[in-house]
Chains A and B, each alone.
Chain A
């Protein structure tokens, strides 16, 4: 029903219909009265498909004029163009029809070219109207969609023109700052209302004066005071529209900032605890003094940031012996350092772990027995930790040494002539509850001989590219400095590692302990 023909004369309806069909029009419907046409059109609502009505002016019943009036009074039909068809120049009725909204008229009998030309222009007009309507509808939909986004978006969005006035403020701004939309006048007034800190207001002024170039985004976090005077925090993203207007995307980040502060506070407390634990760990390390003129020792210790499980000691064992050990508890952190401390206490030189006084004199306990005692005392299950340890006793009268090694990197023996020999003999780690027996090995120090012990943290140090310092570099550094006094040798070794690592902090404690036998004790 694209085109409706309304006429009380059947012959004229038929004539007009065939004329239009011959001209290529289809979808033609004929009605013998204005009433029946209107009924049919109303039945198609809300989506009328009709593009044109040809309406006889004079009909029995409802006149064509009334038909036009009714049709134009129905908003959904008002866009349909109506061409009046008249027998004569009924000027009065015709002008009334135009006033009621008719688009055009033709006279009976119609002349074919004129009729088709008027029909065509009426249909073109209808198409243009339809297109405009559709465009307007799309625009309206889009507008409503954007309004809904702004309404329901949790963030506040505001647009500030270059003169500092708010051009747009989204409902989200009300929620973030608890200010009605009409309270936003200029950015300066807004700043004074909400941001007590002068620095924030200055920053806002600066951003308005020189906003980010289009495509760039600046982020700020500002403290603000809500209407109850409570301190809150908002995060603002500033960006610039091509027009030069400034867009502000604002979120309330009070909770987030508070969590961050809490976390930072906890972190600081945790760090202080770690620092205190590290201090305790370091206070246990042997003091740099020589207990006997026949023997010297030195050490270098580089703790890892999170505190590790390294500990070492050098101590007298009765009148004629020294004992020394280096141990490394698995993992790092406070738990590992507590286990290290516990082992340190167990290994205290006054305890019976290391010396036996039952025979009335001090007898030095052999290293394999010490390792066995440690293994009994510190099973893996106790702390879910294991440790490696190298333990040695030296008889200062003769230079005769006994040692046992539980999984620790082999110490390097450096003879007075510079020859280097790793002490490879070693057993498994402490904590496996007697999985394998430990053994002791012997060694004899001549004057000038040295021994260097390291924890695996040294070879495992990384350079900025992630390469390991490695055992080969450890050995090289020792070889190059083998003839220097033990303290200098250790310093050179530490510096070699530091140079290689170029500022990358160690991931585990790095311990280096060196001893040098000077001469037999008199």
Chain B
């Protein structure tokens, strides 16, 4: 099953994740996403989690790492469409605000 599909708007590259984002698949995904972040001309990256059914801590680590990488490159990273279990997981880890912070900064025009 393909776990990463790409889409784009005028300003954003959208990474569509799906299925189980767990340790077994994270290393390959990380390599692919790091490449995409480095190559893209877009200033925003959005991880669409609508089709993600389960995420373990490695998957969460992938999101944290991607956010950091984007920050280093002056890009804005955000999440969208988390399914209920993923929303719950992010809430359990108290990461909802963490992933919203970039977006808030972007909308108020402040640097990330």
Contact = CB atoms under 8 A, between A and B. Distances in A.
B68 A381 contact: yes
B6 interface: no
A52 B23 CA distance: 82
Contacts of A309: 57
A45 B44 CA distance: 76
Contacts of A330: 57-58, 60-61
Pick the most buried of B22, B23, B65, B95: most chain A CB atoms within 10 A of its CB.
B23
A331 interface: yes
B94 A427 contact: yes
- The interface residues of chain B, by DSSP majority, are classed as helix
Contact of A384 (B23, B65, B95, B97): B65
B93 interface: yes
A380 B92 CA distance: 18
B64 A386 contact: yes
B68 A331 contact: no
- The interface residues of chain A, by DSSP majority, are classed as loop
A428 B94 contact: yes
A407 B22 contact: no
B56 interface: yes
A380 B65 contact: yes
Interface string A403-442: 0000101000000000000000011110110011000000
B106 to A, nearest CB: 17
Interface in B42-100: 56-58, 60-61, 64-65, 68, 92-95, 97-98
A385 B80 CA distance: 23
A333 interface: yes
Nearest to B101: A435
Given A380-B65, A384-B61, A386-B64, A332 B97 contact: no
Contact of A380 (B22, B56, B58, B68): B68
A393 to B, nearest CB: 21
A70 interface: no
A507 B94 contact: no
A327 to B, nearest CB: 11
A328 B57 contact: yes
B23 A333 contact: yes
A331 B93 contact: no
A508 B61 CA distance: 15
Contacts of B61: 330-331, 380, 384-386
B55 to A, nearest CB: 10
A330 B60 CA distance: 8
Nearest to A460: B56
A67 to B, nearest CB: 77
A331 to B, nearest CB: 4
Pick the most buried of B56, B92, B93: most chain A CB atoms within 10 A of its CB.
B93
Contacts of A33: none
B65 A331 contact: no
A388 interface: yes
A407 B95 contact: yes
A384 B109 CA distance: 29
Contacts of B93: 388, 407, 428-429
Contacts of B65: 380, 384
B53 to A, nearest CB: 10
A436 B97 contact: yes
Nearest to B60: A330
A328 B89 CA distance: 14
Interface in B1-45: 22-23, 26
A508 B56 contact: yes
Contacts of A407: 92-95
A429 B56 contact: no
Contacts of A380: 61, 64-65, 68
B94 A332 contact: no
Contacts of A431: 64
B30 to A, nearest CB: 9
B91 to A, nearest CB: 10
A90 to B, nearest CB: 89
Contacts of A388: 57, 93
Contacts of B56: 331, 460, 507-508
Nearest to B30: A384
A286 to B, nearest CB: 23
A249 B31 CA distance: 42
A117 B22 CA distance: 88
B64 A332 contact: no
Nearest to B22: A507
Given A330-B60, A330-B61, A426 B23 contact: no
5 closest A-B pairs by beta carbon, nearest first, are: A330-B57, A428-B94, A407-B93, A331-B58, A330-B61
Interface of B: 22-23, 26, 56-58, 60-61, 64-65, 68, 92-95, 97-98, 101
Interface of A: 309, 328-333, 380-381, 384-386, 388, 407, 409, 426-429, 431-432, 435-436, 456, 460, 507-508
5 contacts: A309-B57, A386-B64, A409-B92, A427-B94, A428-B93
